[in-house]
Amino acid sequence: MKTVVFCHSLVSDWNSGHAHFIRGVVSELIARGVDVIVYEPKDSWNAINLLEEYGQGALEGFKEAYPDLVSRSYDPATIDLNKALSGADAVLVHEWNNLDLIRRIGEHHKTKGHYVLLFHDSHHRSAEELEDAGKYDLRNYDGVLAFGNVVRDLYLNNGWIDQAWTWHEAADTRLFHPIVSHKEGDLVWFGNWSDDERAIEIREFLIEPVKQLGIRAKVFGTNYPTEAVRELERAGIEFGGWLPDYRVPEVFAKYRMTIHIPRRAYVRALPGIPTVRMYEALACAIPLISTPWRDTERLFTKADFLGARNGEEMEAQISWVLHHEAAAREIASHGRRTVLESHTCSHRADEFLQIVDNAQRDLIVRRESA
């Protein structure tokens, strides 16, 4: 089986949680003997920013961490789709692609493609910016893979596509697993500042509790303005900048807990959809405290992590973890079991192959009845 993937970037996770997930799924497909070819645009915003800030060495690190993963750089304006899609059985196109390219791949599928063509949406744009989401020309696509029920339903209810499936993100457990290490701090958080869109939440659930408790904390992420970094430092929080995703497990191992602070868009418009970091943290069996979000899709159990509805509760939960390490470890172990049972990239690879198989059967039936 040959699968072609068009993503924003495979080599750079500078500001893209999607890269974490697609790396894991592609790794799992390759392990199953699937011939996977990944394309990313030569002017990928994530790759350009990564190189500008951290140089070529950042890409070399990716090659060492993922020796089996290779992407082909292309120009959206000149790519030869006949060549790129030759022999494909399945094609997956992420929503963070050039609009014209998305349309052109659909037209190729209509006239020349005997493959299953799927659109992948793992962004809050479809829920927050309906007008923009409706601009995708999906008339010739066989269906949509959406990272939550609410997004899947938007595509179906707005008539953007006839078929859509929920395809949650998940943890790449080839990399994300518990590591034994000496503890260097109390709390670590991975998250981007992202144009102040969750500055209020970061202050309430991270900065103030850390300041009040006087614990050792560190933050990693991108898009932090100078004043935001200074604000962290005034609270006694160390700032680590960008860290490649494949190094996150070793850092989790050095801290006693982490927290989950979803963006406002996720909480408001995407109930039931956690960030990929939640899956990854639970896979590493680090105690996790989450700020409010509605698990409407019942992905986890109440025994998988702790919750905090406001800053005061966050402070109390952090203190509880520090003083009840054995109980906190049991909660973390329960969370890991839930991930291993239902939310690994291996599960998602299985789901993808099943969806493709069913869609191929439908294509055969339609051709025979035409």
Q: pLDDT band at 212, cuts 50/70/90?
A: very high
Answer whether residue 116 shows pLDDT above 80: yes
Side chain identity, residue 128: E
Q: Count of residues for the chain?
A: 370
The tens digit of pLDDT for each residue in 276-305 reads 999 999 999 999 999 999 999 999 999 999
pTM for this entry: 0.94
Q: Is the pLDDT of residue 358 over 80?
A: yes
Residue 118 is inside which H or E element, if any?
Answer: strand 116-121
pLDDT at residue 77 in the model: 92
Q: Is residue 351 pLDDT above 90, yes or no?
A: yes
DSSP conformation letters of 235-265: TTEEE-----GGGHHHHHTTEEEEEE---HH
Per residue in 17-56, pLDDT (tens digit) is 889 999 999 999 999 999 999 999 998 999 999 999 899 8
What was the pLDDT predicted at 128? 58
* Interatomic CA distance for residues 38 and 5, integer angstroms: 5
CB 164 within 8 A of CB 232: no
Q: Is the confidence at residue 196, as pLDDT, over 90?
A: no
Token digits of residue 223: 């898009």
> Residue 305 and residue 335: Cα distance in Å, rounded?
6
φ, ψ (nearest 5 deg) of residue 304: -85, -25
**Residue among 195, 237, 233, 201 nearest 219 (CA):** 237
Give the separation between CA 365 and CA 183, rounded to whole angstroms.
Answer: 58
The two tokens of residue 217 are 């904390």
Cα–Cα nearest to 199, from 263, 144, 148: 263
Least confident interval from 30-39, 85-94, 127-136 = 127-136
pLDDT of residue 236: 97
Is residue 168 over pLDDT 80? Answer: yes
Q: Given this model, what pLDDT does residue 365 score?
A: 73
Please report the pLDDT score of residue 124 as a whole number.
Answer: 65
Across the chain, mean pLDDT equals 93
- pLDDT at res. 266: 75
